[in-house]
Amino acid sequence: MQNILTMLQINAQNNFYKLRKSVDRNDWAYAAPTDVNAYYDASFNDIIITAAILQAPLFSKDAPKYLNYGGIGVAIGHELTHGFDDIGRQFDKNGNRLPWWTNETSNAFDRKKKCMIDQYNNYTVAQVNISISGEQTLGENIADNGGLKEAFLAYQNWARINPNMDKKLPGLTKYSAEQMFFMNFGLTWCAKLKDQAARLQTQIDVHAPNQFRVLGSTSNFAEFDRVFGCKPMQGNSRENKCQVW
């Protein structure tokens, strides 16, 4: 307890010291390099990828690229897309809160986001029998869907420039590189929660529960259907896919 109070005092002193100083745009405000984390800061218009997150299953320098793109690649795409979600879109390139979109663009965005709100409203966490709020989780859902697409297209570009560079993994040779991309994406969100934690996350977290971060974004991605040979309305695939970006 005393250690925590001491750290709070130190942080408060540091914040007061910064009060009349110029803004340091290289300052990491929300995470330490030792945190397994990544985030987007709209007021700075920057993304932070910590050193600690650069480890398996999100990243390994020795892993095939399809695993890295399906892991840290999606995480980076997610943070980039936050710059154009319901909050990030309100800030310009310098982090100023200004209306920089045309009315036509804003109206189109509102139409597209409604589809995604309705989609996630229909998800229920069976473990605690509580429905997700599509409005509460909208920004993260937009980022999840956009980040998955961006990372997959980036991998396709890499594979096109570097043909036959990625080797298959022992015991998994029956899966294509593109299938492995999606499989590692799913693996990164593998988790198990107690009922209390699942209930609290569903009620207050701006992130959808992990399984729906995978199911929601893959169901909207036509490339996922192609890679696994799915047809709309088959399994997890949606016929009317929600696409903001």
Residues 6+ apart with CB under 8 A from 16: none
Spatial separation of the C-alpha atoms in residues 60 and 193, rounded to whole Å: 26
- In sequence order, what are the residues at sequence separation of 6 or more whose Cβ sits closer than 8 angstroms to the Cβ of residue 190? 210
Whether 178 is a known active-site residue: answer no
Whether the Cβ atoms of residue 233 and residue 239 lie closer than 8 Å to each other: yes
Q: Among the options 41, 86, 144, 150, which is catalytic? A: 144
Residue 221: name the closest of 134, 152, 155, 158 by CA: 152
CB 132 within 8 A of CB 124: yes
Query: Of 41, 79, 178, 225, which is the active-site residue?
Result: 79
Concerning whether 79 is annotated as a catalytic residue, the answer is yes
Going by the DSSP 8-state scheme, the letter that residue 91 receives in this structure is B
Q: Identify the DSSP state of 160.
A: H
User: Could you list the active site residues?
Assistant: 79, 144
